């Protein structure tokens, strides 16, 4: 269904390490019609109303900001620790080789607001799950997450679904 968009995503073999097939969305972003179509299709899949679109640093910011416009929603930034000024709340999570932390401003949302979580790609789902926990800790209603690309063999979408979140993606790539 979205083969037109899939064709705009470049695959870079063995990046950042041997055996990884890196799905590079910068080539999609360079195509004005392709980027616009991506946002239109994501907006059509959104279950509204949506108060805020939360983008995960950094490529998620691009899609969240563009998607917020047709949804008439605000944009909430989910960043790595130490990147936001002012008071923040945080969520720690485990990575393949260590731990990390994401944060958001503690006053970024009003409890009960409906938040759509957005990122460019979902792989193992660790960051997305942490973002869902962070948003819910702040009182958000998070019922849907959208990704441009899903790597279903890594199981991230299923992991996020297990937290009661509908997960949608436009494109799937097999493998890593």
- Could you give the CA distance from residue 93 to residue 129 in angstroms, rounded to a whole number? 9
Catalytic residue chosen out of the listed positions 59, 114, 136, 166:
59
Q: Select from 91, 46, 92, 84 the least CA-distant residue to 68.
A: 46
96 catalytic per annotation: yes
Hey, what are 14's tokens?
Answer: 């063995």
158 catalytic per annotation: no
* Helix ranges restricted to H, the chain: 3-6, 26-29, 32-45, 59-71, 126-137, 156-161
Answer whether 67's CB lies under 8 Å from 118's CB: yes
- List, by residue number, the catalytic residues: 59, 96
């Amino acid at each position: 269904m979205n083969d037109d968009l899939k064709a705009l995503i470049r695959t870079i073999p063995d990046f950042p390490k041997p055996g990884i097939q890196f799905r590079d969305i910068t080539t999609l972003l360079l195509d004005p019609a392709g980027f616009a179509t991506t946002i239109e299709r994501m907006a059509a899949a959104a279950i509204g109303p949506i108060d805020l679109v939360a983008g995960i640093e950094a490529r998620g910011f691009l899609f969240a900001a563009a998607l917020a416009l047709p949804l008439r929603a605000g944009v909430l930034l989910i960043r790595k620790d130490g990147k936001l000024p002012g008071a923040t709340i945080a969520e720690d999570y485990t990575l393949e080789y260590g731990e990390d932390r994401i944060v958001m401003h503690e006053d970024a949302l009003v409890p009960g607001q409906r938040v759509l979580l957005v990122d460019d790609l979902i792989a193992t789902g660790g960051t997305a799950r942490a973002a869902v926990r962070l948003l819910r800790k702040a009182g958000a209603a998070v019922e849907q997450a959208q990704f441009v690309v899903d790597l279903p063999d890594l199981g991230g979408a299923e992991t996020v679904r297990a937290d009661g979140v509908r997960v949608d993606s436009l494109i799937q790539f097999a493998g890593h």
